[in-house]
Amino acid sequence: MTDIDKFSAASGRNLTSAMLDALGRAVVTGVYTDRPFPTEAELAQQYNVSRSVTREAVKMLTAKGLVSARPRKGTIVEPVKSWSLFDPDVLRWLLERKFSLQLLRQFTELRLGLEPFAAGIAARERDMKGLLEVERCFQQMEAADQGGGDALAADIAFHIAVLRASNNQFYIQLSDLVATALKISIQFTNRFKGRTASLPAHQAVLKAIQVGDADGAQRAMHAILSDVMDLIRAAEHQTLTAKA
């Protein structure tokens, strides 16, 4: 289905979202690297939408740091350093643009600075609602391992549940960002190592949270992510060796 087909099937807010997605992908994939960003009138004609829809989509791109309006220059594409990389849409466009081991490694480095500490806090908090959700997500991982569900979705849900179990609003607000990137990250690691997530490794996180062992929870989550980092570094080494 082309972008025009998608717009024809959409309406209202969905139409603006479809326009935003198309323009965001175009910016991130470098469509406007060697040519000016179109005017609102040009975009409206190109995608067969109203000027108001185009204007709203461009405003949203601006809020994400991808473009900006300059006096007498119109709308221009901003350099990558200005993009809001913590925005789930921006991260999704980047990850879907072209698989990048460097980007995956940098995101895993960020996870190493977040998730182990969130697991430790979850163990100290031992919030019953959060604990039950982590337990439920681990049970989904067990079921998926036996062919009774989506292993990728269950793995992502477990990590998000740990973030939320911390009851730290800053960690919780990163849930969408982490979920977006994990879809790519877990697919890569599973493909590279030839298996799905380690149930014993995730169970170690759960058990530590259950008994309130903050240090244990932190170490267990750090071990999971360190394993991911080792796989990424091995893949980077293979890539460099192949180019040599």
**How do residues 36-94 score in pLDDT, each as one tens digit?**
999 999 999 999 999 999 999 999 999 999 999 888 788 999 999 999 988 889 988 88
Q: Where are the domains of the chain?
A: 3-82, 99-243
3-state secondary structure string across 69-84: EECCCEEEECCHHHCC
For residue 173, with 0-12 CB atoms within 10 Å meaning exposed, 13-18 middle and 19 or more buried, which class applies?
Answer: exposed
Does 12 score more than 80 pLDDT?
Answer: no
- Domain covering 3-82 assigned CATH 1.10.10.10 in the classification: yes
Q: Which CATH number fits domain 99-243: 1.20.120.80, 3.40.50.720, 3.40.50.280, 1.20.120.530?
A: 1.20.120.530
Q: What pTM was estimated for this model as a whole?
A: 0.78
HSE (side-chain half, CA atoms, 13 Å) at 37: 22
Neighbours of 187 (CB within 10 A): 12
Q: Exposure pattern of 144-160 as b/e (b: 16+ CB <10 Å)?
A: beeeeeebbbbbbbbbb
Q: How far is CA 22 from its chain centroid?
A: 18
